[in-house]
Amino acid sequence: MKKIFLISGSVLALAACGQNEQTETDETNEETEVTGSHSGQENKEQEKETASDVEKEETASDLTEEEAEEQVIDYIEETKPEIESFLSTYQFIVEEKGDKYQVNMFSSESADENIGSPLLSSYEVNRSTGEVKEIEPSIEEPEPYVSEVATMSEKEREGRHRELAADEENLENKVFDHLMLPGLHENTVAYEGRVNPDDAIELFLATADDPPYLEDLDVVPEVDEEGYFSVDLRPYDLKNKAYLRVSIHGDYSKTQVFDLPVFEADEGMESISVRK
């Protein structure tokens, strides 16, 4: 009997221990689950906060076009002190290029009277960091639109140009020999026309005021041996301009003057040509 009692007691003790161990294990698992749940939630919230902070930081650090231009000016002052004092005579055009800006620097004053506002240099500006890097000058040339003036008959062309003349009474017939002066648009950046091969021209932009204010374009386009000339209009703002005045000098008793209307911006009119 004593043996049986001892065995029974041992069995009960082992069972109790097993139950205690199971209870402790269950409690530990529950605590782990709760702790893990809280920990996972906290991690997710931290990840969201981190992502939000990064997004805000990136948005806040993006440069505007004006700031990109200022970065380039600072860069030029540091790296090219020899032209620092002339920076006010240069013009800067900013273009968006994905996560960067391209800032093109043009000369508004040229030593060669036949060269107008040449592109001097180009700079790449990181929109997030503001880092500036000089790059090879590169401007995408738009596909040219051939003006209808190129397909007109000589009589139609002369009639059209007479309507555009600012001083019709002093027009001389020989000015019409090769004349092709198309109108342009506010978004036109490349303009081509034609005059007589020995002619020289001056250009002015006129405001819509009454009387209009004439802005002298510091560009003297070169007229080639066939009379064609081209003008890069990127440095100039054509918005709110009424017309482009072309003053033609040559074998004439008086300057021949034509006012070419500036129309509203129109897709496909970035480059205007008169060559078929």
pLDDT (mean) for 192-200: 96
Report strand pairing: 190-194 vs 271-273: parallel
Which helix or strand (DSSP H or E) is residue 91 part of?
strand 90-97
Which helix or strand (DSSP H or E) is residue 271 part of?
strand 271-273
Neighbours of 34 (CB within 10 A): 10
* DSSP E strand boundaries for 100-249: 100-107, 119-126, 132-135, 145-146, 184-185, 190-194, 200-207, 214-216, 228-232, 241-249
Find, among 198, 191, 172, 261, the residue nearest to 230 by Cα: 191
DSSP state of 162: H
pLDDT digits (tens, 9 = 90+) for 36-85: 544 555 555 565 555 555 454 444 468 999 999 999 999 999 998 877 77
pLDDT digits (tens, 9 = 90+) for 244-254: 999 999 999 99
pLDDT digits (tens, 9 = 90+) for 95-153: 998 899 999 988 664 433 333 456 778 999 999 999 999 998 765 666 889 999 999 99
Q: Which residues contact 15 (CB under 8 A, 6 or more apart)?
A: none
Find, among 187, 165, 148, the residue nearest to 271 by Cα: 187
pLDDT digits (tens, 9 = 90+) for 209-219: 888 889 888 88
Query: Coil, strand or helix: which one is 4?
Result: helix
Which helix or strand (DSSP H or E) is residue 93 part of?
strand 90-97
**Cα(150)–Cα(191) distance, integer angstroms:** 14
pLDDT at 5 over 50: no
